[in-house]
Amino acid sequence: MITVSGLTKRYGKKIAVNNASFTINRGDIVGFLGPNGAGKTTTMNMITGYISSTSGKISIGGYDILENPNEAKAKIGYLPEQPPLYHDMTVKEYLSFVYNLKGCSKKENIKIKSEHIKEVCEVVKITDVYNRMIKNLSKGYKQRVGLAQALLGDPEILILDEPTSGLDPKEIVEIRNLIKRLGTRRTVILSSHVLSEVQAICERIIIINEGYVVMDALTDELSANMGPNSRYGIRLAAPDEDDVAGVLGSLLGVSHVEYVGSYEKGTSDFIIEADKNVDIRRILFDECAKRNWYILMITPLGMSLEDIFIQLVNKNSEAKQLAENKEEEVKEESNDDGDMEA
């Protein structure tokens, strides 16, 4: 559905997106993950045709965004980070304007204007503010109106840039559920720097950092495959005088023990990390039985996306640093050779 190859965007000397390539298939819900300034919005802006790339190709449903921009754009519904709303219009007027702007009446599968707008309003639940001025709406409703404009024309692809940014927790949950529902019959790309959000909504994650695509994997695979350790959260009931953390740390294969706190009277919670080839649960059980400690809980903790993200970003930065060091070394060597020859 979307093919991006060798996409690069330069702003003067700064490279905002560097040689990004990926393919997004029909029906995928993909999350762009990265810190602020990583290049997520720039990538989305290029895919939607808002800005042009310095080099590289973007194909939307077989149409090149630069060669056939109108055909490509007709397949996309875009909700930028700041919803593009005209505050002097009512919701009804605004959606009617967007309907005309997108030339929806020419599309075969679109119903009559009023019916289509009504249907979209029901999907995003803005029927109750239909006749209100946009400037008087809450941020959550404004976001929904922004989403409604993206849905007009029934586009095959939805691109949402930080759709929950600035919303309260209740609105965040509602928007996330809405995006999940919309994703059942559309290709969805959403960007976020909130890792749990991408984890909750997306099946696939593309991690971008400093303009580079540093990882492209399925959400489940990502946490399962990353990291050398297996992690467990445990709750033990042990006598106060025993050095529980010390004992746990001395177990075979345990690489790290962290005391989390006491959430139940007479118990302590720990996070232990062990090598993957050791089943720490059996060793832990034997040791606790020997010492008459009670295991009240063992919870396997997959590596959180936060951890994965930090790990990848560090790896990426290290790799970059190494490459820069090498380059400097090569330069110095060539300078030395030059001096010698002189």
Partner 1 sequence: MTAIWKRELVSFFKNPIGYFVFMIYAFLSAIVFCLFVIWQNTSYLGNYFGMWLFVVDIVVIAVMSMRFFSEERKNKTDQLLLTSPLSLYSLVIGKFLGAYTIILSCTALNLIYVVIVDAFGTMDYGALLSNTVGTLLILSAMISISLFISALTENQIAAAAGSFAVLFLLMIVDYLAMFMPTWLAKAMMSLNIYSQYEDFTNGIISLPPVIYYISVTVISLFLTVKVIEKRRWN
Give me the residues that bind partner 1 (CB under 8 A), please.
11, 45, 48-52, 69-71, 73-74, 76, 78, 80, 82, 84-89, 93, 97-98, 100-103, 149
Give the nearer residue to partner 1 in terms of CB position, either 50 or 263: 50
Give the nearer residue to partner 1 in terms of CB position, either 74 or 248: 74
Shortest Cβ 64–partner 1 spacing (Å): 14
Shortest Cβ 195–partner 1 spacing (Å): 26
Give the nearer residue to partner 1 in terms of CB position, either 88 or 332: 88
Count of beta carbons in the 10 Å neighbourhood of residue 333: 10
Give the nearer residue to partner 1 in terms of CB position, either 51 or 123: 51
**DSSP for 295-315, written as a single string:** EEEEEEEPPPHHHHHHHHHHH
- Cα 293 to Cα 119: distance, rounded to the nearest angstrom: 60
Shortest Cβ 68–partner 1 spacing (Å): 10
Give the nearer residue to partner 1 in terms of CB position, either 74 or 234: 74
Both structure tokens of 263: 């959430």
Shortest Cβ 143–partner 1 spacing (Å): 14
Residue 143 three-state SS: helix
Both structure tokens of 25: 């298939």
Give the nearer residue to partner 1 in terms of CB position, either 151 or 205: 151
The torsion defined by the Cα of 120, 121, 124 and 130, in degrees rounded to 10, comes to 160
Report the amino acid identity of residue 253: G
Measuring CA to CA, which residue among 154, 194, 157, 156 is closest to residue 175? 194
Shortest Cβ 35–partner 1 spacing (Å): 22
Shortest Cβ 46–partner 1 spacing (Å): 10
Measuring CA to CA, which residue among 216, 224, 190, 211 is closest to residue 78? 190
Tokens 């895919």 belong to residue: 47
Q: Using an 8 Å Cβ cutoff, are 133 and 92 in contact?
A: no
Shortest Cβ 38–partner 1 spacing (Å): 19
Give the nearer residue to partner 1 in terms of CB position, either 69 or 302: 69
Q: Using an 8 Å Cβ cutoff, are 194 and 31 in contact?
A: no
Q: Using an 8 Å Cβ cutoff, are 1 and 26 in contact?
A: yes
Tokens 């090149």 belong to residue: 64
Tokens 């290290």 belong to residue: 318
Give the nearer residue to partner 1 in terms of CB position, either 87 or 291: 87
Report the amino acid identity of residue 261: G
Output phi, psi for 205, to 5 deg: -125, 135
Shortest Cβ 186–partner 1 spacing (Å): 16
Shortest Cβ 86–partner 1 spacing (Å): 6
- Cα 121 to Cα 220: distance, rounded to the nearest angstrom: 33
Count of beta carbons in the 10 Å neighbourhood of residue 194: 15
Give the nearer residue to partner 1 in terms of CB position, either 49 or 249: 49
